[in-house]
Structure 1
Amino acid sequence: MSPRRSYDQYCSAARALDLVGDRWTLLIVRELLAGPRRYTDLHADLPGVSTDVLASRLRDMERDGLSTRRRLPPPGAAYVYELTPRGRELLPVLQALSRWGQSELGERRPTDAVRAHWLALPLLRRLEGEGLVEIRLDEGVFHLHVGVEDGPVYGDGPAPGEPDARLVMDAETCAAVARGESGLTDAVRDGRVAVTGDGTLAKALREA
């Protein structure tokens, strides 16, 4: 394992960047905020990262106490990576970066990869309350754990169990809401977002 590189500056921002400033590290954190992930799943959802770099970043994160690796019991018997409590504390950091980077998105470039669940963290900022929300787009399905303080904050695929609210929209509407260009309640009233479910979140969105 390579020694940790450091800016050697007595500054909390510099110390933080000693841990998460390398290319790909924060995007790995973004993926692991969904909960335990296998190496192959991480590699598939981080297009452009080499296997060597991904393995190196995961080793560094484990060394620095940001993530752990454990073996699933049979019949899975695969290794998964997951964030430690210290690693999960990076959620507001990623959300702040997402907010700051909104103006850089613009139109999607032909070379841009996209995954539906990449909209999860910015969309999470637009929901209030607590509950499980499933988001359905033509590009894919993901779910959000709104108001949680521990564990996964989102997940790829349908919600585990019956969600408190299910939102159906197109990717353009989802991106506009995530960027703050359109309010979620406005999109519901305009018919751009269909809401189903009997939970408090669903009722609040329909009645707003």
Structure 2
Amino acid sequence: MPPRRSYDQYCSAARALDLVGDRWTLLIVRELLAGPLRYTDLHADLPGVSTDVLASRLRDMERDGLATRRRLPPPGAASVYELTDRGRELLPVLQALGAWGQAELGERRPTDAVRAHWFSLPLLRQLDGEGIVEVRLEEGHFHLYAGAEDGPVYGDGPAPGEPDALLVLDTGTCTAIGRGELSLVQAVREGRVEVNGDGTLAKSLRDT
């Protein structure tokens, strides 16, 4: 494997960008925060990336200790990629970058792809506490692991088992939260988010 390119600057920011500054790398991290994924699933949720570039970025991430690849036992018998502990440490970096980038979202362009689970990180920034939260949108369902210290941060589809809170909202409300125009607490107060469940997270949201 060829050596990693470097800015050759004795600066921690430059060193970090040596590892994650290439196009697509942080978006691959965003997807792998959902847990182990097959290459085909990664490619499907990264519209616009070529197969060659995706394969190259994954090799770089393996080399740099951000991700690993392993083979699932039968009957799965497929290879999956997952973040290492070092790779998972990029969650607050992505959260900070997402918060900073809210002002750049604006209206959705006709060429913009969207996946329901891309709203996971903005919603996680709004949750105070720990537990599993299921979110239902017109585009699909996903679930969040609020306060998770290891394992997946979010996942597609309904929550496994009974969630601590179930949030039902429309895409417009979720988009407004993602753009920083509306907080989750405000949306609940205004009746734009339906909160169900008996868990601590559900009760705290209803009591705000």
TM over 0.5: yes
Give CA-to-partner distance per residue, 1:126-173, whole Å, 9 cap, x none: 000110000100011111100111111111111111100000001110
Give CA-to-partner distance per residue, 1:41-73, whole Å, 9 cap, x none: 000000000000000000000000000000011
C-alpha displacement of 1:184: 1.5
Please give the residue correspondences for 1:68-87 in structure 2 after superposition, counting only pairs within 5 Å: 68-87=68-87
Looking at structure 2, the residues matched to 123 and 109 of structure 1 have their Cα atoms a distance apart, in angstroms, of: 22
Aligned residues: percent identity?
83
Partner residue of 2:119? 119
Unaligned runs of 5+ in 2: none
- Residues 133 and 143 in structure 2, CA contact (< 8 A), matched pair in contact too: yes
- Residues 134 and 159 in structure 1, CA contact (< 8 A), matched pair in contact too: yes
Partner residue of 1:103? 103
Residue 159 (structure 2) pairs with residue 155 (structure 1):
no
Looking at structure 1, the residues matched to 166 and 179 of structure 2 have their Cα atoms a distance apart, in angstroms, of: 20
C-alpha displacement of 1:180: 2.8
Greater than 3 Å deviation, 4+ residue runs: none
Looking at structure 1, the residues matched to 204 and 168 of structure 2 have their Cα atoms a distance apart, in angstroms, of: 16
Partner residue of 2:5? 5
Residue 172 (structure 2) pairs with residue 172 (structure 1):
yes
Partner residue of 1:64? 64
Give CA-to-partner distance per residue, 1:7-29, whole Å, 9 cap, x none: 11111111000000000000000
Looking at structure 2, the residues matched to 182 and 81 of structure 1 have their Cα atoms a distance apart, in angstroms, of: 35
- Tell me, what secondary structure is at the counterpart of 1:134? strand
Partner residue of 1:54? 54
**Normalising by the residue count of structure 2, what TM-score does the alignment of the two structures yield?**
0.98
Looking at structure 2, the residues matched to 184 and 159 of structure 1 have their Cα atoms a distance apart, in angstroms, of: 20
- Residues 29 and 83 in structure 2, CA contact (< 8 A), matched pair in contact too: yes
Unaligned runs of 5+ in 1: none
Residue 18 (structure 2) pairs with residue 18 (structure 1):
yes
Looking at structure 1, the residues matched to 178 and 146 of structure 2 have their Cα atoms a distance apart, in angstroms, of: 14
Looking at structure 1, the residues matched to 25 and 184 of structure 2 have their Cα atoms a distance apart, in angstroms, of: 31
Residue 67 (structure 2) pairs with residue 32 (structure 1):
no
Partner residue of 1:140? 140
Partner residue of 1:130? 130
Partner residue of 2:201? 201
- Residues 126 and 178 in structure 1, CA contact (< 8 A), matched pair in contact too: no
Looking at structure 1, the residues matched to 133 and 179 of structure 2 have their Cα atoms a distance apart, in angstroms, of: 18
- Residues 105 and 179 in structure 2, CA contact (< 8 A), matched pair in contact too: no
Q: How many residues align?
A: 208
- Tell me, what secondary structure is at the counterpart of 2:148? coil
C-alpha displacement of 1:183: 2.2
- Tell me, what secondary structure is at the counterpart of 1:150? coil
Looking at structure 2, the residues matched to 115 and 43 of structure 1 have their Cα atoms a distance apart, in angstroms, of: 13
